[in-house]
Amino acid sequence: MESLGTFLKSRRDRVTPAEIGLRTYGTSRRVPGLRREELAQLAGVSAGYYTRLEQGQAETASEQVLDALARVLRLDQVETVHLHNLARQSAKPGLSEPPFEEPHPRVLRLLESLGEATPAVVLGRRGDVLAWNRTGHALVAEHVCYAAPKDPQQRPSIPRMFFLDPHTRAMYRNWHELARVHVAYLRLTAGRYPTDARLAGLIGELTMRSDDFATMWATGDVSDCARERCVPRASRDPLSTGVLAQPVGRFSRGTTTCRAVAASPRRKNFTWPMVCVHSR
């Protein structure tokens, strides 16, 4: 998983003095971005306090301090949410096995109402396929058994397939772009659910078995998956996926709905919306 200090350092390294109007007077610098004391001064906190915060030695940080750090570090809305999530964690959160996820009955009714004309996939917070219709299955992973999502032990994992399954990797011309989205969303999810042992196991497995995942994870990037633009190799046109966030769990305070027209990779002159329901 990730600590508050690790994330702060990765974002601090990303911001250069010139970007925020600091003069360096030509002096040599040993850090790629801001120094700790520079960030602390701009955020209105002491250098000693910020150092303790980054090193995990400070017990807590107020929302005002976190917002000030986010402002100086130029964090976007999703990164700021992640920063606050990390700050709420205990120093060493214990991992536990959560119960298997199940799609909400309302989501299953939505899936049924879509029929087969619109490909649809229901994803859990770790990217496990909780349900899909037959066109969604054909579009995303037709080489996987259609009934697999019904068995919690056999559910397809989209992140695992993206990084460890050559067939899935070969499906997309913009694989690297989509892979970065999956990694950044897993980081956001890890901040929301720091004690999820299955999530920690997935991140650990992908880090050990995929150099691409390890490299992307090391960037520290965070994003929400409100929309993805897939480019299947069998189609000239991009395929946009709309995401509906399932309103389940303490972090779900509503739904995010986004629908976009997508090109079918099998029929070049036919367009359809692709709907993905993501549990948070």
* DSSP annotation string for 43-72: HTS-HHHHHHHHTT-SS---HHHHHHHHHH
- Is residue 11 classed as helix, strand or coil in its secondary structure? helix
pTM: 0.81
- What gap in Å lies between CA 264 and CA 274, rounded to an integer? 9
H or E, element range at 230: strand 227-230
**Residue 128: how many other CB atoms lie within 10 Å:** 21
Residue 146 DSSP class: T
Alpha-carbon distances, residue 59 vs 46, 50, 91, 122, 198 (angstroms): 15, 12, 8, 38, 27
Helix axes 4-14, 47-54, angle to 10 degrees: 120
Q: How many residues does the chain have?
A: 280
Helix axes 175-192, 77-87, angle to 10 degrees: 40
- CA atoms 156, 158, 163, 166: torsion sign: positive
Residues 6+ apart with CB under 8 A from 40: 46, 47, 49, 50, 51
H or E, element range at 185: helix 175-192
Question: What does the pLDDT profile of the chain (280 residues) look like in tens digits?
Answer: 789 999 999 999 999 888 887 777 666 777 788 999 999 999 999 999 999 999 988 877 899 999 999 999 999 999 999 999 999 886 666 899 999 998 888 888 888 988 888 888 888 889 999 999 998 898 888 999 999 999 999 999 999 999 999 999 988 888 998 899 899 999 999 999 999 999 999 999 999 999 999 999 999 999 886 555 554 454 445 455 555 555 444 333 333 322 222 333 443 333 344 556 555 5
